[in-house]
Structure 1
Amino acid sequence: MVNIRLGPPANSWAVSTNHVDLRRPVPPSRVVTLVARPQRITVDLARCALVVVDMQNDFCHPDGWLAAIGVDIAPARRPIAPLRRLLSWWRSGGSAVIWLNWGNRPDRANLPPGVLHVYDPDGSGGGIGDVVRPGGSPTLQAGSWSAAVVDELKPEPSDVYVDKYRMSGFFDTPLDSVLRNLAVTTIFFAGVNSDQCVLATLTDAACIGYDVVLLDDCAATTSPAYCHDATVYNVAQCFGFVSTSDALMGGA
């Protein structure tokens, strides 16, 4: 009798001593139609993942790196409230939540000068791996307080974590393997900064064949407002769709 499964629920084999069943399970559909730009969309949430980008202390906490260097982090905190509501609803249906955060090696051995320069433009220090305030932790270093998800969003044990090392979460990470192993075809994107890491990851996702949806109210940037507006325009125009968490939950 084939009664042991190997792999995640949506991409598993059933195995026994003398038999392997290569048929993948077909999860129950959870179909939602929601208002979006440029058109309404219908999705099966059983084949979706919510990828939350960089909602971590160094970007969104008053004691984090951005605040320490004088950046107004109020915009970066705006997605917290809608994401808290969405995450509770999203998890109740069993869909995947993936936290995609900067989480760099302590030795920064995989980071080229161009990446280091973004966070330390004049080479004087205070960038990736440096401590920018007394008693603080290394900026965006894996395993540190700086790289952790902000407390208000409370990740669950069933959530998936992927560390990234570039603006795009697909380069040099297991993100694509994780998504495909979860049988995901559509990705909903949230987080910060919408015009930087969110957009770079979303663009790569679209280019390798995923359907992509940006949740406007769950994404934000500390850049000027027109940068977010341009991101929303370009996602709807070129890469996929733009909607909101209210539209998603209201379409259930």
Structure 2
Amino acid sequence: MSVSGLSYGPLGDRCAHLCVDMQKLFAEPSEWATPWITRVLPRIVNLAERKAEQTIFTRFVPAERPGKGAGTWRRYYERWASMTIVNVGPQMIELLAPLPSFCPPAQVIDKHIYSPWPEGKLQAVLAARQIDTLVVTGGETDVCVLATVLGAIDMGYRVVLVTDALCSSSDATHDALMTVYHQRFAQQVETVEMKTILSAWT
């Protein structure tokens, strides 16, 4: 049954807001800056204010120094040597203000790759809370959000993507991924705007 634009019913007590990588690392003047990040931040703040206890922030933590990392990640951090911790400083992994003010009760989970699933911390938190639905915001639509969503699908979570609270550094691949979510994952992924989430998640 559709509820206020949600194809599979209302959002209840077993729902969590999973906010992906809204960090200084991805804001100006970083080399990894995502131009839309400041556009979507106020919407994410609005949801986090209302649902702080149900919010989990992930943070992408780069390698400590160039050449670190397993397999192709070593090559990645040779290419992006300027974005390693030793060069950008540990403060760059922090969440964008005012998101840290919601922690606690919101939680922060660090990860060292695109996906938050292989390291196991996120799944442990969700399982302990008996979460079955994830409202996903953050960035980038076509990288870390993609990895987060595909992992959530494989784990059996209902995924609700907040379309106007996602950001990318590429309009073209953002649009392409939104088409993929609509056309190929419709049984597992719902796409709605923030106003729907705020009205439907009471």
CA distance in 1, matches of 2:74, 2:13: 38
Whether the 8 Å contact between 1:65 and 1:146 is mirrored in structure 2 is no
Name the counterpart of 2:22: 55
CA distance in 1, matches of 2:68, 2:152: 22
Task: Structure 2: state its 5+ residue gaps.
Answer: none
Letter of the 1:34 counterpart? S
Whether the 8 Å contact between 1:190 and 1:218 is mirrored in structure 2 is yes
Deviation at 1:77, TM superposition (A): 2.2
Deviation at 1:110, TM superposition (A): 7.9
Name the counterpart of 2:56: 98
CA distance in 1, matches of 2:180, 2:113: 21
Whether the 8 Å contact between 1:79 and 1:220 is mirrored in structure 2 is yes
| CA distances 1:85-141 after superposition (whole Å, capped 9, x unpaired) | 1222223xx5x11111112564799821422433542x7x3133341xxxx51xxxx
Match among 153, 157, 160 for residue 210 of structure 1: 157
- How do residues 193-208 of structure 1 correspond to structure 2 at under 5 angstroms? 193-208=140-155
Whether the 8 Å contact between 1:102 and 1:163 is mirrored in structure 2 is yes
Mapped pair 1:249 → 2:195: no
Name the counterpart of 1:149: 95
CA distance in 1, matches of 2:163, 2:124: 26
Name the counterpart of 1:15: none
Whether the 8 Å contact between 2:26 and 2:32 is mirrored in structure 1 is yes
* Structure 1 residue runs of 4 or more that deviate by more than 2 Å after TM superposition: 62-67, 103-111, 115-121, 127-130, 152-156
Name the counterpart of 2:106: 159
Name the counterpart of 2:32: 66
Whether the 8 Å contact between 1:54 and 1:102 is mirrored in structure 2 is yes
Question: Aligned residues, how many?
Answer: 196
Whether the 8 Å contact between 1:53 and 1:190 is mirrored in structure 2 is yes
Structure 1 residues 116 and 75: alpha-carbon distance in aligned structure 2, compared to 1, 3 A threshold: farther
RMSD, aligned CA: 2.4
Name the counterpart of 1:26: none
SS state of the match for residue 91, structure 2?
A: coil
Task: Structure 1: state its 5+ residue gaps.
Answer: 1-31, 68-72, 138-143
Q: What is the TM-score normalised by the length of structure 1?
A: 0.70
Whether the 8 Å contact between 1:49 and 1:186 is mirrored in structure 2 is yes
CA distance in 1, matches of 2:176, 2:114: 17
Q: Which has the higher helix share?
A: 2
SS state of the match for residue 103, structure 2?
A: coil
CA distance in 2, matches of 1:56, 1:186: 24
SS state of the match for residue 163, structure 1?
A: strand
Relative contact order (alpha carbons < 8 A, sep ≥ 6): 1 or 2 greater? 2
**Aligned sequence identity (%):** 21
